[in-house]
Amino acid sequence: MLPSIQDNFPSTPGKVKMDRNNYFGRVTSRWHSTASARLLGCSALLLAFALVVLFRVSSSSDLGDGGYFSHSDVHWAFKPTRLWEKKVRQSCLPRREDNPMVVLVTGAAGFVGTHVSLALKKRGDGVVGIDNFNSYYEVSLKRARQELLAKHGIFVIDADINNAFLLKTVFELVQITHVMHLAAQAGVRYAMENPGSYVQSNIAGLVNIFEICKAANPQPAIVWASSSSVYGLNTKVPFSELDRTDQPASLYAATKKAGEEIAHTYNHIYGLSITGLRFFTVYGPWGRPDMAYFSFTRDILKGKPINIYQGPNNKDLARDFTYIDDIVKGCVASLDTAEKSTGSGGKKTGPAQLRIFNLGNTSPVTVPTLVDILEKYLNVKAKREIVKMPRNGDVPFTHANISAAQTQLQYKPETNLETGLKKFVKWYLSYYGDNTPHESLVAW
């Protein structure tokens, strides 16, 4: 039996996985030599496979946190312990009485996931997270976010969104009213290095979440993260939800666009209430180290040169950088205004809400200006290298039209890039503190 694509890729990066996939590729090509070799190969593979599963199942009981399997396992398996069940139940307990939600936040140890989970918990909703803690960027940062969440009474399940059995167990244990689906393979340029991880997280993982939600009784309402990148090569500004989104410039964008179409299907067939949010280059404290503002900060402090991309005709690139607190307000408002799903027992009983909103800042800033601001708050001059924008999925600019979110969510971004980066730098220095080689950092 050959493993399926789902078995071969983790939800997010998969250097190890890619190797394994190549290994299976090599093995299968050899199978074609003779019938006996094929039979032998098949039995050996089956035996090895059975042994791996047996080994994993027997060792799972040792895991006090619920016997989860990490994303690198061949087969998903899961054995909840009492302690694990208790943690999930406690985390989901609301502390307010006026119509509280119980929210499953996927990608809870991610940047946006952490902030949204905290906001919901702080106002008294029940929150339980799930995250696979993959190594796309430093795992220690994700673990630190997990610790922060734990301090606020939020339990983050260490598992992959493709683990259907585990998710079903969660839904059986507690009544999840809303799913805030933020787990994804992010990053525009990394898609050329590891395309499979985008398919596995942003498509297979999304479908798995929808499948679980569709079968749940009652079905939860879902709010999920799409991306400004779906506008791709669109040149009409500002980008409106009504503009064309059929020209993605990266596989990342294509998987987010595919997600929007898949959302339509699940809404149409099963009556799931679904809201997609197109985030515009979100930044802030506890952010993602792979993003430009974060990696620039790191390199400026180390005295390393930074590459500043330039578009055609030496035009500066620009982004509608959006501060995390504004994004959190948009996410929470989307949850608050989400109507109930209409399906029952996996069948639709009436039309359900289907929405898409831009969540941007509405004032694009060029990348060199972003660097100017960082220099000011870091009090260090950047070593700028101006290079031609590589053809790896980038787009020259983004700019959100947010009128739909303003009207329907009362969304109103309040933090400009200058203020937001100041807060980011402050956090960065307090988090990485002593590791920074420069001394005069907090002069401002």
Q: Pick one of 309, 340, 384, 403: the residue that binds ligand UGB (CB under 6 A).
A: 309
CB-based contact 10:136 (threshold 8 Å): no
Chain residues 357-396 in contact with ligand UGB, contact rule CB under 6 A: 367, 394
Give percent helix, percent strand, percent coil of the chain, each to the nearest 5.
50, 15, 40
Q: Pick one of 132, 194, 227, 415: the residue that binds ligand UGB (CB under 6 A).
A: 227
308 near ligand UGB, judged by CB under 6 A: yes
Least gap, CB of 239 to ligand UGB (angstroms): 10
Question: What are the φ and ψ backbone dihedral angles of 222, each rounded to 5 degrees?
Answer: -120, 135
Q: How many CB atoms are closer than 10 A to CB 375? A: 15
165 near ligand UGB, judged by CB under 6 A: no
Chain residues 311-330 in contact with ligand UGB, contact rule CB under 6 A: 317, 319
Pair of tokens at residue 364: 């694009």
Least gap, CB of 335 to ligand UGB (angstroms): 20
- The Cα–Cα gap between 157 and 65 comes to 8
Residue closer to ligand UGB (CB basis): 121 or 145: 145
Name the amino acid, one letter, at 113. G
Residue closer to ligand UGB (CB basis): 135 or 307: 307
Question: Using CB under 6 A as the criterion, what x/- string covers residues 277-306 for binding ligand UGB?
Answer: --xxx---------xx--------------
Residue 67's region, left for phi above 0, alpha for psi from -120 to 50, else beta, is left
Chain residues 102-121 in contact with ligand UGB, contact rule CB under 6 A: none
Question: Using CB under 6 A as the criterion, what x/- string covers residues 240-279 for binding ligand UGB?
Answer: ---------------------------------------x
Please give, one letter per residue, the 3-state secondary structure of 336-360: HHCCCCCCECCECCCCCCEEEEEEC
- The Cα–Cα gap between 342 and 268 comes to 11
214 near ligand UGB, judged by CB under 6 A: no
Chain residues 392-411 in contact with ligand UGB, contact rule CB under 6 A: 394
Catalytic position from the list 137, 198, 231, 252? 252
Residue closer to ligand UGB (CB basis): 108 or 188: 188
Residue 206's region, left for phi above 0, alpha for psi from -120 to 50, else beta, is alpha
Name the amino acid, one letter, at 134. N
Q: Does 231 participate in catalysis according to the annotation?
A: no
Q: How many CB atoms are closer than 10 A to CB 274? A: 27
186 near ligand UGB, judged by CB under 6 A: yes
Contacts with ligand UGB, residue ranges (CB under 6 A): 186-188, 227-229, 279-281, 291-292, 307-309, 317, 319, 367, 394
Residues with a known catalytic role: 252
